[in-house]
Structure 1
Amino acid sequence: MKALVYHGPGQRTWQDVPDPVIEDPEDAIIRVDAVTICGTDLHILKGDVPTVQPGRILGHEAVGTVLDIGAGVRGLTPGDRVLVSCITSCGRCAYCREGHYGQCLGGGGWILGHLIDGTQAEQVRVPFADGSVHKLPDNVTDEAALLLADILPTSFEVGVLNGRVSPGDTVVIVGAGPIGLAAIATSKLFSPSRIIVVDLADARRKAALERGADLALSPDEDVVGAVRELTGGLGADVAIEAVGIPATFELCTQVVRPGGTVANIGVHGAPATLHLEDLWIKNVTITTGLVDTVTTPRLLAMLAAGRLPLPGLITHRFGLDEMQDAYDIFARAGETGALKVALFTMEGAEQDTR
């Protein structure tokens, strides 16, 4: 089969690799019908995630069809159409039993495209398949389901729920890439009074306004002053960091009000300064986290019922064999206007146009 293989920082190839096989009774082999590229994949290619070894097939988000299952898989049948979650769960360890699947001690967590071969391929092996894939309703398209593999549960759990967004809050989201835009959509489920987005790119600020933000600012502006003016001098109730660089994290700590929460989503590859000399007295809560995907069934039910807004996050579509082109477009988002890209096999494209 063909797959996108990482060969070290800045190096990737779309090449022939062996087909995956069942290695454990709880495995499933999934034919990839639709897949996407994550900002985390770009961090890997920059060398920000050194635990990813050269030779690894990248990718941790996909929709596909079950081809084969191990003898220990009980809830799936070949032919089932499924969502492959970015997080794999053994279901048995202490963390999984608490719903903290991202911290799985039993061989799961974020492993696809990280510690084992991932989804940017024609097929993928998914361990612990019963707890790590979700059957899809017929009325949910492959394209819509892709957003539930990572960015919607990530924005919801690590941003909105960790940030404790509540009705009437002022929410500042720093970063208007796919995760930041998904954070707008999932924040609105809790009826904040205003959502303010900060991003360098004109196109992304425009995208944020089109998708429900009340105000979009450039970091070159007086963001702290603008937020305080809008909140009677208080600051943001919740600041969500959705980029993963020191400057954006530090901006979140500056705009948040005393008693507020900074929810960090971004993948950080460099140290950020924590100004405790300013923060210690302000009762500020700072949260971090890897998504657990514990809310994926809830989000999927909302999507199937038409209760989950999907604000046009996928802007570019490709065939699976155009993986290199898709990476080039996604990596130059400031020039291309790409938000989220989707790649389809012929089978996946046919399903989405039925």
Structure 2
Amino acid sequence: MKALVFEGPGRRTWREVPDPVVEAPQDAVVRIDTVTICGTDLHILKGDVPTVDPGRVLGHEAVGTVTEVGSGLSTLKVGDRVLVSCITSCGRCQYCRTGRYGQCLGGGGWILGHRIDGTQAQLCRVPFAETSTHLLDDAVSDEQALMLADILPTAYEVGVLAGNVRPGNSVVVVGAGPIGLAAVLTARLFSPAVLAVVDLSTDRQAVALRAGATHALDPGRSLLDQVRELTGGLGADVAIEAVGTPGTFETCVEIVRPGGHVANVGVHGAPATLHLERDWIRDLTITTGLVDTATTPALLNMVASGQLDVATLVTHRFDLGAIEEAYEVFSDAGRTGAMKVALSAGA
């Protein structure tokens, strides 16, 4: 089969690799029907995730069809259409038994495209397949489901829920890329009074406003001043960091009010400064985290019912064989306007 292979920082190739096979009773092999590229993949290519070895097939989000099942599976069968989650869950360890699948101790967590070969390929082996995939029906399209493999549950769990967003809050999302836009979509479920976005791209600001943001802040002016203007001088209740740079994290800490919450969602490859000499007295809560995907079933229900509209997330579509071109478009979002790309087999 062909797959997108990480060859070391700055290098990737779409090339032939061996087909995956069932290696354990709980495994399934899935034919990839639709797949996407994540900002985390770009971080890997930049060298920000040194735990990814050269030769690894990238990707951790896909919708596909089961083609082979291990002897230990009872609820999955060949021909099932499934969402392959970005998080793999053994279902048995202490963390999995409390819904903290991202911290799985039994061989799961974020392993696809990280510790084992991932989904940017024609076929993918999924360990612990019964607890790491979601059966799909016709109420949710491939593209809709694909948005629930990572960015929607990540933004919802690590941003909105961990940030303790409540009705009437003032929420500022720093970064209006795919994760930031997903944070806007899911923060709206809690009816914040202010839902502002910050991004250097006016195109992304416009997309966020169409998705339900109430304000787009001017990155050329003091963000603290603008946030205070919107909040009666207090600052934001919640700041959601959705970029992954030292400057954006430090900005989030600066713009929240005393008693506020900073929810860091971005993947960081460099240290950020926390000014405790200034902020120890402000009663701040700062959270970080890896998505658990425990909310994926609820999000699937919301998409199927029309309560959550993810149509704005996909901006570019490609054939799977054009994945190198898709990477160029996705990584140059400032020029192309790309949010999420969808690559389909035989598109």
TM-score class, shorter-chain normalisation, is: over 0.9
Q: Structure 1, residues 269-299: CA drift from partner, whole Å, max 9, x if none?
A: 0000011112110110000000000000111
Aligned to 1:21: 21
Q: Residue 4 of structure 2 aligns to a residue in which SS?
A: strand
State the alpha-carbon separation in 1 of the partners of residues 175 and 75 from structure 2: 38
Matched, 1:286 2:293: no
Q: Residue 263 of structure 2 aligns to a residue in which SS?
A: strand
Q: Where does 1:146-157 land on structure 2 (aligned, <5 Å)?
A: 146-157=146-157
Matched, 1:309 2:287: no
Q: Where does 1:265-344 land on structure 2 (aligned, <5 Å)?
A: 265-344=265-344
Aligned to 1:247: 247
The residue type equivalent to 1:196 in the other structure is A
State the alpha-carbon separation in 1 of the partners of residues 335 and 217 from structure 2: 19
> Is this contact kept in 2: 1:175–1:197, CA < 8 A?
yes
Aligned to 1:187: 187
Q: Where does 1:168-183 land on structure 2 (aligned, <5 Å)?
A: 168-183=168-183
Matched, 1:220 2:215: no
State the alpha-carbon separation in 2 of the partners of residues 259 and 181 from structure 1: 25
The residue type equivalent to 2:68 in the other structure is D
Q: Residue 342 of structure 2 aligns to a residue in which SS?
A: strand
Q: Residue 163 of structure 1 aligns to a residue in which SS?
A: coil
The residue type equivalent to 2:4 in the other structure is L
> Is this contact kept in 1: 2:7–2:55, CA < 8 A?
yes
Q: CA deviation at 1:311?
A: 4.6
Aligned to 1:209: 209
The residue type equivalent to 1:212 in the other structure is G
State the alpha-carbon separation in 2 of the partners of residues 218 and 164 from structure 1: 25
Q: CA deviation at 1:220?
A: 2.3
State the alpha-carbon separation in 2 of the partners of residues 309 and 171 from structure 1: 20
Q: CA deviation at 1:309?
A: 2.0
Q: Where does 1:5-44 land on structure 2 (aligned, <5 Å)?
A: 5-44=5-44
Matched, 1:70 2:54: no
Q: CA deviation at 1:183?
A: 0.4
Structure 1 runs (4+) greater than 2 angstroms displaced: none
Aligned length: 347
Q: Where does 1:139-150 land on structure 2 (aligned, <5 Å)?
A: 139-150=139-150
> Is this contact kept in 1: 2:207–2:312, CA < 8 A?
no
Q: Residue 105 of structure 1 aligns to a residue in which SS?
A: coil
Q: Residue 15 of structure 2 aligns to a residue in which SS?
A: strand
Q: Residue 226 of structure 1 aligns to a residue in which SS?
A: helix
> Is this contact kept in 2: 1:87–1:101, CA < 8 A?
yes
Q: Structure 1, residues 196-246: CA drift from partner, whole Å, max 9, x if none?
A: 101111211122112211111233211100111111111000000000000
Aligned to 2:88: 88
Q: Residue 65 of structure 1 aligns to a residue in which SS?
A: strand
State the alpha-carbon separation in 1 of the partners of residues 234 and 166 from structure 2: 16
Matched, 1:113 2:105: no
> Is this contact kept in 2: 1:175–1:199, CA < 8 A?
yes
> Is this contact kept in 1: 2:14–2:324, CA < 8 A?
yes
Aligned to 1:2: 2
Cα 1:311–1:227 change in 2 (3 A) is: farther
Q: Where does 1:91-106 land on structure 2 (aligned, <5 Å)?
A: 91-106=91-106
Q: Residue 94 of structure 1 aligns to a residue in which SS?
A: coil
The residue type equivalent to 2:231 in the other structure is T
> Is this contact kept in 2: 1:89–1:131, CA < 8 A?
yes
> Is this contact kept in 2: 1:185–1:311, CA < 8 A?
no
Q: Structure 1, residues 125-163: CA drift from partner, whole Å, max 9, x if none?
A: 000001000000112100110000000000000000000
State the alpha-carbon separation in 1 of the partners of residues 307 and 201 from structure 2: 30
Q: CA deviation at 1:249?
A: 0.2
Cα 1:84–1:3 change in 2 (3 A) is: same
State the alpha-carbon separation in 2 of the partners of residues 190 and 4 from structure 1: 39
State the alpha-carbon separation in 1 of the partners of residues 50 and 66 from structure 2: 31
Q: CA deviation at 1:13?
A: 0.2
The residue type equivalent to 1:151 in the other structure is I
Q: Residue 108 of structure 1 aligns to a residue in which SS?
A: coil
> Is this contact kept in 2: 1:211–1:311, CA < 8 A?
no
Q: Which runs of 5+ in 1 are unaligned?
A: 350-354
Q: Residue 162 of structure 2 aligns to a residue in which SS?
A: helix
> Is this contact kept in 1: 2:144–2:311, CA < 8 A?
no
**TM-score normalised to structure 2 length:** 0.99
Aligned to 1:257: 257
The residue type equivalent to 1:62 in the other structure is A
Q: Structure 1, residues 41-87: CA drift from partner, whole Å, max 9, x if none?
A: 00000000000000000000000000010000111010000000000
Cα 1:340–1:156 change in 2 (3 A) is: same
- Give the share of equivalent positions with the same residue, in percent: 68
Q: Which runs of 5+ in 2 are unaligned?
A: none
Q: CA deviation at 1:101?
A: 0.3
Q: Residue 75 of structure 1 aligns to a residue in which SS?
A: coil
The residue type equivalent to 2:271 in the other structure is P
State the alpha-carbon separation in 1 of the partners of residues 226 and 311 from structure 2: 26
The residue type equivalent to 1:154 in the other structure is T
The residue type equivalent to 1:10 in the other structure is G
